[in-house]
Amino acid sequence: MLQPGGNNSIIIVGGANVSWPRLDGGISRLNEKAQQLIRRAGAVILQREVPDSLNIEVAKIAKVSNVPVVLDAGGIDSPMPPELLKNVTIFSPNETELARLTGMPTDTTEEVLAAAAKVQLLGVQQVLVKLGEKGSILVNKDEPPIVQPAIMAPYVVDTTGAGDTFTAAYTVALIEKQPPAEALRFAAAAASICVRTKGAIPSMPDRRAVSQLLEEHPAKEMKKVIAKFIEQVNISGSDEAESPTKRSNVNSPKKVRFHDFEDEQKEKSILGQSVQPVSM
């Protein structure tokens, strides 16, 4: 249901998606042709509108074949099976889904990082959190998180499918072996185009449109939105945020990288974390 301003509410009716036969006795429900497609894929994107047991089977086949598995958290609202998460390369929730999964708040960047760290304890290497108009954060094990501001659309018609578009575009960039920061920017551009058209399928952009938008928003110009972005995601270094009583007991990464920031000589201390500018 489309709301004023382009936001949406979605009702999921499982239908045929939940009609897959049960997996009994270790016998695969996927025929050999389907399994070969998974093994030969550049990457596999999963979502939770089919049974988790099917996703687990697909993820296991892909993992054994060294095929990256990207799991979008959208779909059924139920606990996430640990067996699924441990076979996933990248887990991609929005902040609401991340909060629901972890039972932790995700209102600030520090809280998002702490919740993502908790997910990583379940075996996921990378957590890609979609923050809507606030952008996105990629949390990679043993590396500083990367924050990507949203590429703001001049107008918003329909946000339906924007998260799916973002995840799909990031996966395309992953297959193309783009650096993570560039992949995030590519995905942000795709999502920015998506919200300008009504309908989930018609709004998904082609490669030409994404490339054109990236040309219109070169990396160096993105520094202009950093200050506003910091305020939006509530990491302005307030006294309240610095208070030890406000911190989570889950250790979050110590450095957050803001890509598209031109001056590599500057560092800002935010929430006790070092924000390392990265030139693209």
Q: So where are the chain's domains?
A: 22-149, 151-232
Catalytic pick among 164, 206, 239, 263: 164
Segment 3-12, tens digit of pLDDT: 566 566 666 6
Helix 32-40 / helix 52-64 crossing angle, nearest 10 deg: 60
Give the torsion through C-alpha atoms of 211, 216, 222, 225, to 10 deg. Answer: -120
9-13, 154-158, 256-260 — most confident range = 154-158
Instruction: Report the C-alpha gap between 54 and 142 in whole angstroms.
Output: 30
Q: Assign domain 22-149 to a CATH class.
A: alpha beta
Query: Taking phi first (over 0 means left), then psi (-120 to 50 degrees means alpha), and beta for anything else, what does residue 46 get?
Result: beta
Distances (CA, A) of 247 to 39, 229, 272: 43, 21, 11
Instruction: Report the C-alpha gap between 21 and 43 in whole angstroms.
Output: 25
The reply to whether 158 belongs to the active site is: no
Token pair, residue 48, equals 């939770």
Higher pLDDT, 123 or 39: 39
Mean pLDDT of the residues in the chain: 78
pTM of the model: 0.75
